[in-house]
Structure formats: C-alpha cells, structure tokens
Chain A
Amino acid sequence: MRCAIQSKRGLLALVLLTLLLAPRPTGWTQYPGVPPPLAGSTLGQNLRNAAAAVQTQVTALRNAADNWTRRAQSANYGDADLRRDYDNVLWQFQNLRNQFNYLGQLALQLGRPRADNAVAELEAGLNIISELFVFLQEQYAAGTLDRATVERTARLFQRAIREWELELRRNTSRLGIVW
C-alpha cells in the first residue's frame, strides 16, 4: 500500500499534529470535551477516582492499539483502514492524556515533590510515545508510508502503551494514590 499525497489530508495531519504537540499554557489544562471523573469529598478520593479513570482509558487505548496491530497485519490493509485506525487510536490517546492531565492536576495539589516528579515523568513518557504519531503523519504526508511501516509502528505503539501502563502502576504510591 502506498498512500497518495492529498492536500486536504496534509492539512488534517497538520491540524492533528498541532493539537498533539501544542504546549499547554499553565501546565495541566484539560482539553475540552472529556468529562472529569466523579468528584469525591476528599483529595484522596478524587485521586482514586481519577486514577481509576486513567486506568479505564488506558485499557480502552490498549484495546484500540491491539485491534490496529491485528488489522495492519492483513495484506489487504488499505488507506481507509489506516485512517480509521489512526483516528481511533489518536482519539483514545488524546483521551488518555486528558484523563492523565486531570490526575496530574490533583497529584500536584498534594504538594509532594515525589508526586510532582512522577507526574512529570509519566507525562514525558506520553510525549515521547506521541512521536510515533508524528512519524506516521510525516510519512503519510510525504506519500511514502508502506503497510509494513504501519504494521511495525502499530505494534510498537501497542507495546509502548503497555510499558507506560506498567510505569503508571509502579508509580501509584509516588503519585499519592492510596487504596
């Protein structure tokens, strides 16, 4: 599969890239449209709710990535499949960032350096993983994206998200989440 260059797609890629990489002005601003988890009566309860929401979202993203990886292995995987899977995974990824940003905001309220550092490390991890989207966008816009590249990148994304999820779990105590 060789994807054709189209100006509209290029523009769409640029818009997605901007959304993905645009710096948030004051640290932990949420993107609009994603409702926060239920608010509790204490910070601890809010943290637990936010952590559960992040976990739910990371599971949804993992499932989307698993499906993408499986479909991309098909010899008939085409441009329309790629756009559908890419949009879906990107959407789930953005939702994960939103949920994590909310958790990060709450963790910062603890005023503990450990929590702040854990948030910064996990956030940086998501930024680095998002480089895979940028890579695909560049290849797509240049008309040089092959199915083999998509398949490899989808598999890598799937594994990277699993690793990030493990890191999140390792950091629950550092983030101040007590169950």
Chain B
Amino acid sequence: MKALRFIALALLVAGCAGRSGTSAMPKPGKGIEEYREVARQAHRAVANAVESLEGLGEGAGLGRFDRDFENLELTSVKARARAEAIIARGQGYFDEWKEQLAVATNKPSAQANYDRMYEHFTRVRERSGEVRQEFRPFMAKLRHFRATLDHSTNSPSSESSRVEIVALAASGRRVLKTLDSVSMALNEAEVELHAMRNSK
C-alpha cells in the first residue's frame, strides 16, 4: 500500500518536472500562446484527415486515413477541451489572463489594458463556441463513417460512401474555418499583450 502510494507520488512529482507548470506564476500570455498552439495542432490534424478522407473517395487505401483519423482523435481532445473550458468558465477563465496581464502591464494604464484584453477574450470565447459547434458533430460523423467501412459490404469507393465523404469533407472544412478564426483572435490578443508589455 505504502509502495503504491510512493509510486503515485513519484509519478506526480515527475510530472511537475514536465514542460509546463513548474513555476508558481505563469509567464504573461502563456494561456494565449498555449491555446494558439493546440488550435494550430488541431488545424493540422483536421486538414490531414480531410485530405486523406478525400483520398479514400479516389481509391486510396485505408491506412493513411486511419493514421490521420487516430491522430485527429487524440489531437482534437486538447483543442476541444480548451474551447469547452473557456465557454463553461466564461468571465472566470479570463481571470487567469488577467493575472498574466497584471504581470505584463503598468498600473496607470491597467484599466484600459484590461478592457482591451477583455474584448479580445470575448472574441476568443465566441469563436471557441463556433469550434465546439462544428467539431463535435464532425468527429461523431467521422467515427460512424469509419465504422461503416469495417463492414465487408461497404467500400470507400462506393456511391454511398462517396456522397458521405463529400459531406464529411465539407464538415471538416467548416471546422478548419472555426479553428482559423479562433487562431486569428488569439494572434490579435497576443500582439496586444506584447504591445502592453513593451510599453510597460
């Protein structure tokens, strides 16, 4: 029992030495930077999955699609979880950005900076809502589509599969658009934060 507890503690301690979360205070803009990175990774994963999906309709093998789809499943969790958390926590989520803002800005301009950052945050939050709205049904439909290909009677190049592929690819492109949109909002927020830091 003691040994198990020790192992669990040791694993978590080892975790503390990971890439992030080692310092008591986050670097200014870290939340924005991280979200932008997970959005970028998700974008790449969706783009790859859409491309290999379309390849299926043109007679390509399932191997590449399966790899891209599995990668998308794993990569998308982070981006979607981030979007969900921002939507669910709302103003509460911004408080973390606010903490970072306090590190990055000087006192006299604090209120103006706060207002500007809050505008950016609101935009990011709205666009995160769009990500959520498009991503979840896309993933659900993709899973069902892949499952139909496990049935020996269904081929990716059949007429019904092709129709489904076209619809799925369109859905994937809508996801890409929402990810572009949230990335753009995050870029703008980061540029603003840098400007605030430089004027400190």
Contact B80 A55 (CB under 8 A): no
Contact A156 B77 (CB under 8 A): no
User: Which B residues are closer than 8 A to A by beta carbons?
Assistant: 4-5, 8-9, 11-16, 18-24, 26, 31, 66, 70, 73-74, 76-78, 80-82, 84-85, 88-89, 92-93, 95-96, 98-99, 136, 139-140, 143-144, 146-148, 150-151
List the A side residues contacting B84 at CB < 8 Å: 120-121, 124, 127-128
Q: Which of B20, B92, B143, B148 contacts A170 (CB 8 A)?
A: B20
21 contacts between A and B (CB under 8 A): A55-B9, A113-B95, A114-B99, A116-B92, A117-B92, A123-B85, A124-B88, A125-B78, A128-B76, A135-B140, A144-B147, A159-B70, A160-B73, A166-B15, A167-B78, A172-B12, A172-B16, A172-B21, A173-B16, A173-B22, A179-B12
Contact B81 A128 (CB under 8 A): yes
Give the distance in Å from the alpha carbon of A113 to the alpha carbon of B12 in the complex. Answer: 21
List the A side residues contacting B73 at CB < 8 Å: 156, 160
The closest CB in chain B to the CB of A51 belongs to B12
The closest CB in chain A to the CB of B92 belongs to A116
Give the distance in Å from the alpha carbon of A125 to the alpha carbon of B80 in the complex. Answer: 8
Q: A52-B5, A120-B93, A124-B85 are in contact. Are A170 and B21 (CB under 8 A)?
A: yes
Q: Which of A108-156 contact B (CB under 8 A)?
A: 113-114, 116-117, 120-125, 127-129, 131, 135, 138-139, 144-146, 148-149, 152, 155-156
Contact B74 A174 (CB under 8 A): no
CB of A164 within 8 A of chain B?
yes
List the A side residues contacting B8 at CB < 8 Å: 52, 55-56, 59
Contact A52 B92 (CB under 8 A): no
The closest CB in chain A to the CB of B75 belongs to A163
Give the distance in Å from the alpha carbon of A160 to the alpha carbon of B12 in the complex. Answer: 18
- Could you tell me the distance in whole angstroms from the C-beta of A167 to the nearest C-beta in chain B? 7
Q: A113-B93, A131-B139, A163-B77 are in contact. Are A52 and B147 (CB under 8 A)?
A: no
The closest CB in chain A to the CB of B136 belongs to A131
List the A side residues contacting B144 at CB < 8 Å: 135, 138-139
Query: Which A-B residue pairs are the 5 nearest by beta carbons?
Result: A169-B15, A113-B95, A124-B84, A173-B21, A120-B85
CB of A17 within 8 A of chain B?
no
Give the distance in Å from the alpha carbon of A155 to the alpha carbon of B150 in the complex. Answer: 16
- Could you tell me the distance in whole angstroms from the C-beta of A152 to the nearest C-beta in chain B? 8
